[in-house]
A and B are shown apart, each in its own frame.
Chain A
Amino acid sequence: MANIHDNPTRNAWMAKIATLDTLAKAHAFITDFRAKHMSPFKTDWSLELDGLWIELKIEEKLALLKHKEFNDTQLLNNCTCGANAQQVANEVIVKMEACTDMYEAERIHINFRLACKPPVMPVNVFLDTDRLLGTKLMELRNTDYYALPLEELRKKRGVKVVTLQ
């Protein structure tokens, strides 16, 4: 049996990554990959063991293409889709500031990470935005932490109880 570090799944994805030859293609590829395989809300678990490694390889390719196609100003200010990074960040921050529900705040933060995690967004913009979003999410999550009994909390989270002993 193939070992955990070197297996046909990883090889197949490496072949796909090798075909990416423009920043636009690589951006679309990573966005789709993260949404399907890296999201905490995913329902497809087929890449559970190899997903992080494959994502790393896509990020490497994306960063190289970004280096090839972007000038210095773009590297500091633009996402790999071409959008102005600070504008993208500001829109998310405004949305989060208006949010009062922890589950909605969780979706805003997670979706921001899936869409913008570097090298998609420059780190100088991403990290500070992530700090602001994380702070608000933690405030909402930790307010009245014990208010709901576990039974209610399970329902809110949408989990199925398989067994309770």
Chain B
Amino acid sequence: MAISTATKAATDALAANPAPVSVGAQEVHRWMQSFTWDFDKNRTKYSTKYKMANDTKEQFKLIAKEYARMESVKDERQFGSLQDVLTRVDAANRVHPKWNESMKVISNFLEVGEYNAIAATGMLWDSATAPEQKNGYLGQVLDEIRHTNQCAYINYYFAKQGQDAAGHNDARRTRAIGPLWKGMKRVFSDGFISGDAVECSINLQLVGEACFTNPLIVAVTEWASANGDEMTPTVFLSIETDELRHMANGYQTVVSIANDEAASKYLNTDLNNAFWTQQKYFTPVLGMMFEYGSHFKVEPWVKTWNRWVYEDWGGIWIGRLGKYGVESPRSLRDAKKDAYWAHHDLFLIAYALWPTGFFRLSLPTQEEAEWYEANYPGWYDMYGKVYDEWRARGCEDPSSGFLPIQWFIENNHPIYIDRVSQVPFCPSYCKGESTLRVLEYNGKKHSFSDQWGERMWLSEPERYECQNIFEQYEGRELSEVIAEGFGVRSDGKTLISQPHTNKDGKLWTLDDIKKINCVFSDPLKAL
């Protein structure tokens, strides 16, 4: 019987390069190399200023079959623990209610990051020409698919087994109204998959994974454990075992372009922009989730940040790349200043905008307030006394008729949204580094909170056209917008978000919000 051309080609290839007789990793790897694929003649679909070398090596040298075997063992352990042991001991109901709410944000948002990382590493696979480098990116594509499922599973598990499912289930439907969503998409989506393919690698692998994965995926497990959550460490530490491969891929991306003349012209600029993009969101948001979304504290966020971002990444990791011309980002010093107060500033605003969220927030208790003051001297005079005032005005009680956003309006402290990072800021009431800069371009006003973002916008304004909630909902009443943006529970009237985590406390409804008659207005129109 005649055989097809493809079968004949495969038979001939095997005759020339006999298959390994054992499953030794190195032997299999050498065999794979002998195929001598000529990807250097392929053209990529994506733009990049850089040229990746065709002979780049990859450190893990893992073929897909071995990879699948290894990951399936990890999955068996992880899902086995969750479905058997942790369910039997009712672990999801032992989590502190404040931390239960934090995981609504952390796991839902990380799921978006992992999902975009699938596309990002697929893009890098397409852009690279070295077979080994492609193999490294391929491993990461598979990892990111796994991680997307894991993050979704955390929320599924909490929703099914735990307390107050609203927000763990279907958080994404609130994405048009929640002010944290757009900034998250800027770092996790736009930063990973838009623009130069190598710049995306720098955002994802060199900064996102090598810098912020430690605070995000490792530190979160410490905070989770401290607050009674045994599910998150089970899943996130399993995710983290794959992250080494991703950091190595980022390293190899830099190695692959090191001999390209373009690297010296563009690399440090791209690194600085990527670092500023990622830190502008992660620094305040992670600090806020850890410190304000927990009852039991591990350590001040500023210490975690200094250890992992400033010293470990900015010093040691980037230092190792110094031989390839990589320098620590010039914005690192400004970021360091923000690591102290930015998350406190953000929580003040997040709490004031609580009805637009998909998770419950709660004011610091007396015990927590003492912890803040001890670790951040001056905290009470700036923030603590405001929370005391809000509490005294009944901000947690639906019958009070008081939303904390009214305090900002009454005291003439307008909240702006940074056009580039999409992070809200209040320049007249903050201790962080944010400063108000408003520019008008073709008749439209844009607000910025720092020099780095302003420069990014001035360089490519068409990239940052995302409208913020004040522009989108100008003139609209808050309860209408919440209803339209799916911010209510299954009864159609109770808000998903609430300003407390007390399970016996009254829950706010659309009617409670409507009575207050809070109308969106764009602060830029007043300038």
B459 at the A interface (CB under 8 A) = yes
Shortest CB distance B480–A (Å): 7
Shortest CB distance A10–B (Å): 15
A67 at the B interface (CB under 8 A) = no
Measured between beta carbons, the chain B residues less than 8 angstroms from A146 are: 269, 455
Alpha-carbon distance between A142 and B198 when the two chains are bound, in angstroms: 13
Alpha-carbon distance between A1 and B270 when the two chains are bound, in angstroms: 44
Residue-wise, chain B 375-393 has the 8 Å CB interface mask toward A (1 for contact) of 0000000000000000000
Q: Knowing A40-B465, A142-B270, say if A161 contacts B471 (CB, 8 Å).
A: no
Measured between beta carbons, the chain B residues less than 8 angstroms from A138 are: 47-49, 195-196
Residue-wise, chain A 1-35 has the 8 Å CB interface mask toward B (1 for contact) of 10111000000000000000000000000000000
The contact of A127 among B45, B445, B473, by CB within 8 Å, is: B45
Instruction: Please state if B455 and A153 are interface contacts (CB–CB under 8 Å).
Output: yes
- Shortest Cβ distance from A131 into B: residue: B47
Measured between beta carbons, the chain A residues less than 8 angstroms from B427 are: 165
Residue-wise, chain A 129-165 has the 8 Å CB interface mask toward B (1 for contact) of 0111011001101110110001001101111111111
Instruction: Please state if B467 and A143 are interface contacts (CB–CB under 8 Å).
Output: no
Instruction: Please state if A40 and B462 are interface contacts (CB–CB under 8 Å).
Output: yes
Question: Which one of A42-50, A69-77, A80-88 is at the B interface?
Answer: A42-50
Instruction: Please state if B455 and A110 are interface contacts (CB–CB under 8 Å).
Output: no
Alpha-carbon distance between A15 and B339 when the two chains are bound, in angstroms: 52
List of 10 A-B pairs having minimum Cβ-Cβ separation, nearest first: A134-B47, A40-B462, A162-B438, A160-B440, A145-B269, A135-B47, A159-B439, A165-B436, A163-B438, A159-B441
Instruction: Please state if B458 and A157 are interface contacts (CB–CB under 8 Å).
Output: yes
Count CB-based A-B contacts (< 8 Å): 103
B80 at the A interface (CB under 8 A) = no
Residue-wise, chain B 446-477 has the 8 Å CB interface mask toward A (1 for contact) of 00000100110011111001010001110111
Alpha-carbon distance between A164 and B444 when the two chains are bound, in angstroms: 16
Instruction: Please state if A165 and B435 are interface contacts (CB–CB under 8 Å).
Output: yes
Alpha-carbon distance between A40 and B441 when the two chains are bound, in angstroms: 10
Measured between beta carbons, the chain B residues less than 8 angstroms from A40 are: 461-462, 465
Q: Please, how many residues of chain A have a CB less than 8 angstroms from a CB on the other chain?
A: 40
Chain B, interface residues (CB within 8 Å), range: 35 or more
Measured between beta carbons, the chain A residues less than 8 angstroms from B458 are: 150, 153-154, 156-157, 159
The contact of A45 among B44, B269, B438, B443, by CB within 8 Å, is: B443
Binding site for B on A (CB under 8 A): 1, 3-5, 40-43, 45, 48-49, 106, 110, 127-128, 130-132, 134-135, 138-139, 141-143, 145-146, 150, 153-154, 156-165
Q: Knowing A1-B480, A41-B442, A45-B443, say if A139 contacts B454 (CB, 8 Å).
A: no
Measured between beta carbons, the chain B residues less than 8 angstroms from A156 are: 458
Measured between beta carbons, the chain A residues less than 8 angstroms from B454 are: 150
Alpha-carbon distance between A131 and B43 when the two chains are bound, in angstroms: 11
B266 at the A interface (CB under 8 A) = yes
Alpha-carbon distance between A3 and B138 when the two chains are bound, in angstroms: 44
Residue-wise, chain B 493-527 has the 8 Å CB interface mask toward A (1 for contact) of 00000000000000000000000000000000001
Instruction: Please state if A161 and B439 are interface contacts (CB–CB under 8 Å).
Output: yes
- Shortest Cβ distance from B445 into A: residue: A162
7 residue pairs from A and B, CB less than 8 Å apart: A1-B480, A49-B471, A130-B47, A135-B49, A138-B195, A157-B441, A159-B441
Alpha-carbon distance between A52 and B445 when the two chains are bound, in angstroms: 20
B299 at the A interface (CB under 8 A) = no
Q: Knowing A3-B484, A154-B439, A163-B437, say if A135 contacts B455 (CB, 8 Å).
A: no
Measured between beta carbons, the chain B residues less than 8 angstroms from A165 are: 427, 435-437
Instruction: Please state if B461 and A45 are interface contacts (CB–CB under 8 Å).
Output: no
Most buried by B among A40, A128, A130: A40
- Shortest Cβ distance from A132 into B: residue: B47
B46 at the A interface (CB under 8 A) = yes
Alpha-carbon distance between A138 and B47 when the two chains are bound, in angstroms: 8
Instruction: Please state if B265 and A157 are interface contacts (CB–CB under 8 Å).
Output: no
Measured between beta carbons, the chain A residues less than 8 angstroms from B44 are: 131
Instruction: Please state if A42 and B442 are interface contacts (CB–CB under 8 Å).
Output: yes
Alpha-carbon distance between A48 and B462 when the two chains are bound, in angstroms: 14
Shortest CB distance A110–B (Å): 6
Measured between beta carbons, the chain B residues less than 8 angstroms from A161 are: 438-440
Alpha-carbon distance between A135 and B465 when the two chains are bound, in angstroms: 21
Measured between beta carbons, the chain B residues less than 8 angstroms from A3 are: 480, 484
Instruction: Please state if A142 and B265 are interface contacts (CB–CB under 8 Å).
Output: yes
Alpha-carbon distance between A49 and B461 when the two chains are bound, in angstroms: 18
Shortest CB distance B458–A (Å): 5
Measured between beta carbons, the chain A residues less than 8 angstroms from B45 are: 127-128, 131
- Shortest Cβ distance from B454 into A: residue: A150
